[in-house]
Amino acid sequence: MLNREIAEIFERMADILEIKAGNPFRIRSYRKAVRIIGDMTQDVAELAAAGRLTDIPGIGEGISGKIKEYLATGRIEKFEEMKKGVPGGLIALLSVPGLGPRTVAMLHKELGVESAEDLRAAIKKGRLSGLAGMGEKKIGNMLRGLKLIREFGSRLPLGIALPVASEIVARLSRTAVVGEIEPAGSLRRRAETVGDIDILVGGRDGKSIIETFAGLAMVREVLASGETKGSVIVEGGLQVDLRVVPRKSFGAALQYFTGSKSHNIHLRRIAREKGLKINEYGLFRGKKMLCGRTEKEIYKRLGMCWIPPELREDRGEIEAASVGKLPRLIRAADIKGDLHLHSQWSDGAASIRAIAARAKAMGYGYMVISDHSRSLKIARGLSVESLRKQIAEIRELNSRLRGMRILAGSEVDIMNDGSLDFPDELLAELDFVIASIHGGFKQSREKITERIVMAMKNPYVSAIGHPTGRLIGEREAYEVDIDRLLAAAAETGTALELNAYYQRLDAGDLLCRRAKEKGVRISIGTDAHSPEQMWMMELGVGTARRGWLEKKDVLNTMSLSELRKHLKKKRQK
Ligand code: DGT
Ligand code: CA
Ligand code: CA
Ligand code: ZN
């Protein structure tokens, strides 16, 4: 869907107008379009094709014309024009978290700041302190924002890149003469962000395969197009590299281009110790090619079993594979249910019935509806009464559904003092309770840790939601004592959530691995706000695999009766 891309452009247009102190009416109309398109669950392209764009309240002729222009040409002339009127660095500054258009305009006017570099230098020299509204706190936030963009740069979340890669692979396998085709690089390793997408093809006619690739409808710009390598920018600004190799080298190339770099360096050292040489064409003794057709034979010749891509970070996987001690990683097919879902009772888009239909189609046996609790007003948190009504509706639905069990749950807020947003009597009526922090992020490390530990001690709390609170590329984790968290989770029998929503992936891979070592169970939930987002379970499973998790480490690989038994144990402790 292009919704996100189009919404982002309107957001930029509003920002630029605001920097230039443009017409407030137009600024508002762009911002409104951003909100509407951002909340939409239908595809704008489909609506446009059906001529129904202006049926949407808040989308007038002007906005609808620009959307159609974008769909037809891949650009909006007005936006290109507007960009010419402001320095490029200023527009880039707008993507620094914690920096709005007004501040950017003010910094530009007062200090001549035109880029992130300028801003960093100005802060260092203390030039901001004299300005109106520039308290120490605000400056601190800016510095953190600058640090975030430096770390992530133009990297994109895996959840944005993965569907793009799958679509390219699907299209190329249909249209070109490809032998085998596989995404490589950080995407294949399921890293939480990717710098670019690397796709590998085994085949003979490189030139025509690459021409087909460069001609795909989603391609915006062709950077290079040759006999063995093509490189393009697709919709949304993502770079995609495609390489074509002879089929006899496909495994070697796949191994090489999957990386990670540190994994490959370690592997090369092992090859050298055995008097062998490894590169993207194969494994060699002198000039003699020993193998290269598959990854498996390469790893085998180097004295180890095949290593799943998610583990290839040189974090001990080579040592483990050499002694046959790799974990048997969890697989997508092991997942029996989604443990975190929002319905239209709070801020979700769909009915419980529609969500259940999707869950069934995904092959699940159960699912947890976990809408927000009463204090989270912006997410339309449920009152005590409406949660009771929802529980009744779920029981009623269950009596009619075949092959799907809906578990009544809640994503209950952990309040600033560590208490929970619902009383215990109500929590006791639920099957599954996720306790989450949604506010008070700035509290001290001790305080936040204490709040979470208190929530874990509640017998009805099944899991701690998105345990570090980070948002990829947007917000850092809050300060929390991970060791204490894990110890308390182990002691109380509380799971840590691996929130699979693409911007969260929290707990991340490293925390999952530490949890496993401490005997703490992980519960994977998508936090989907519409059935279309439930596919993100795949991102959660990828992250779990990067965290060395096995089936037994994850709560929702259990059957319904095992899960119930497990949850009961904590309640009876
Ligand atoms: P990214 O794109 O920044 O998210 O990360 P990767 O891992 O996809 O890196 P990328 O796209 O620069 O290169 C793809 C793979 O190619 C990388 O994972 C390993 C391999 N590779 C690239 N450069 C080198 C190198 O200098 N040495 C070795 N051994 N492998 C390399
Ligand atoms: Ca890459
Ligand atoms: Ca690359
Ligand atoms: Zn939440």
Question: What pLDDT, on the 0 to 100 scale, is given for residue 544?
Answer: 98
Please determine, for residue 153, whether its predicted confidence score (pLDDT) is greater than 70.
no
* Ligand 1 close to Cβ of residue 194 (< 6 A): yes
Q: Ligand 1 pocket test: which of 151, 154, 182, 186 has the largest number of ligand atoms within 8 Å of its C-beta?
A: 186
pLDDT category of residue 449 using cuts at 50, 70 and 90:
very high
To which CATH superfamily is domain 332-571 assigned?
A: Metal-dependent hydrolases (3.20.20.140)
Residue % of the chain over a pLDDT of 70: 98
Question: What pLDDT, on the 0 to 100 scale, is given for residue 555?
Answer: 98
**Distance from the CA of 242 to the center of ligand 1, in angstroms?**
13
CA distance 36 to 53: 11
* Ligand 1 close to Cβ of residue 260 (< 6 A): yes
Mean pLDDT of 281-302: 97
Mean pLDDT of the chain: 93
pLDDT category of residue 151 using cuts at 50, 70 and 90:
low
* Ligand 1 close to Cβ of residue 265 (< 6 A): yes
Q: Ligand 1 pocket test: which of 164, 261, 279 has the largest number of ligand atoms within 8 Å of its C-beta?
A: 261
Please determine, for residue 130, whether its predicted confidence score (pLDDT) is greater than 70.
yes
**Distance from the CA of 218 to the center of ligand 3, in angstroms?**
18
CA distances from residue 68 to 2, 215, 420 in whole angstroms, order as listed: 12, 21, 47
| Residues paired with 499 in a beta bridge | 506, 525
CA torsion angle 482 487 489 495 (round to 10): 70
362 with 407: CB under 8 angstroms?
Answer: no
508 with 501: CB under 8 angstroms?
Answer: no
* Ligand 1 close to Cβ of residue 259 (< 6 A): yes
To which CATH superfamily is domain 250-322 assigned?
A: DNA polymerase, thumb domain (3.30.210.10)
Side-chain half-sphere CA neighbours of 111 within 13 A: 26
**Distance from the CA of 196 to the center of ligand 3, in angstroms?**
5
Could you read off the pLDDT of 347-370 as tens digits, one per residue? 999 999 999 999 999 999 999 999
**Distance from the CA of 509 to the center of ligand 1, in angstroms?**
20
CA distances from residue 241 to 38, 194, 316 in whole angstroms, order as listed: 29, 13, 29
Question: What pLDDT, on the 0 to 100 scale, is given for residue 473?
Answer: 80
CA-closest residue to ligand 1 atom 25: 261
DSSP sequence for 17-40: HHHTT--HHHHHHHHHHHHHHHH-
| Strands 193-194 vs 219-225: parallel, antiparallel or unpaired | unpaired
CA distance 350 to 343: 5
Could you read off the pLDDT of 383-432 as tens digits, one per residue? 999 999 999 999 999 999 999 999 999 999 999 999 999 999 999 999 99
Q: What is the DSSP letter of 104?
A: H
- Three-state SS string over 282-316 comes to EEEECCEEEECCCHHHHHHHCCCCCCCHHHCCCCC
559 with 337: CB under 8 angstroms?
Answer: no
Give the position, in ligand 1's atom list, of the atom nearest the Cα of 197.
2
| Residues paired with 527 in a beta bridge | none
- Using alpha carbons, select from 475, 482, 423 the residue that is nearest to residue 448: 482
Give the least confident one: 168-182, 281-295, 540-554, 556-570. Answer: 168-182
* Ligand 1 close to Cβ of residue 257 (< 6 A): yes
Dmax (CA) for the chain in angstroms is 76
Domain range annotation of the chain: 2-152, 156-245, 250-322, 332-571
Secondary structure of residue 368 in the 3-state scheme: strand
CA torsion angle 40 41 47 52 (round to 10): -50
Give the position, in ligand 1's atom list, of the atom nearest the Cα of 185.
8
CA distance 288 to 96: 52
Could you read off the pLDDT of 451-465 as tens digits, one per residue? 999 999 999 999 999
Could you read off the pLDDT of 214-262 as tens digits, one per residue? 999 999 889 999 999 999 988 777 899 999 999 999 999 999 999 999 9
- Using alpha carbons, select from 267, 208, 193 the residue that is nearest to residue 242: 208
* Ligand 1 close to Cβ of residue 29 (< 6 A): no
Secondary structure of residue 533 in the 3-state scheme: helix
Classified by CATH at the fold level, domain 156-245 comes out as Beta Polymerase; domain 2 (3.30.460)
Q: Give the architecture-level CATH label for domain 2-152.
A: Orthogonal Bundle (1.10)
Residue % of the chain over a pLDDT of 90: 70
408 with 391: CB under 8 angstroms?
Answer: yes
CA distance 215 to 222: 9
CA distance 215 to 196: 19
Phi, psi of 198 (to 5 degrees): -115, 125
Burial class (CB in 10 A: 0-12, 13-18, 19+), 444: exposed
Question: What pLDDT, on the 0 to 100 scale, is given for residue 55?
Answer: 87
Please determine, for residue 206, whether its predicted confidence score (pLDDT) is greater than 60.
yes
Taking the CA atoms of 47, 53, 55 and 59 in sequence, report the sign of the dihedral they define. positive
Compute CA 185 distance to the chain's CA centroid, rounded to the nearest angstrom: 17
Question: What pLDDT, on the 0 to 100 scale, is given for residue 175?
Answer: 79
**Distance from the CA of 342 to the center of ligand 4, in angstroms?**
10
pTM of the model: 0.81
Question: What pLDDT, on the 0 to 100 scale, is given for residue 563?
Answer: 98
* Ligand 1 close to Cβ of residue 313 (< 6 A): no
* Ligand 1 close to Cβ of residue 157 (< 6 A): no
Where do runs of H (alpha helix) occur along 346-444? 352-361, 384-400, 424-427
Q: What is the DSSP letter of 178?
A: -
* Ligand 1 close to Cβ of residue 239 (< 6 A): no
Compute how many other C-beta atoms are within 10 angstroms of the C-beta atom of residue 95: 18
* Ligand 1 close to Cβ of residue 261 (< 6 A): yes
CA distance 396 to 11: 43
Give the least confident one: 20-24, 243-247, 468-472, 483-487. Answer: 20-24
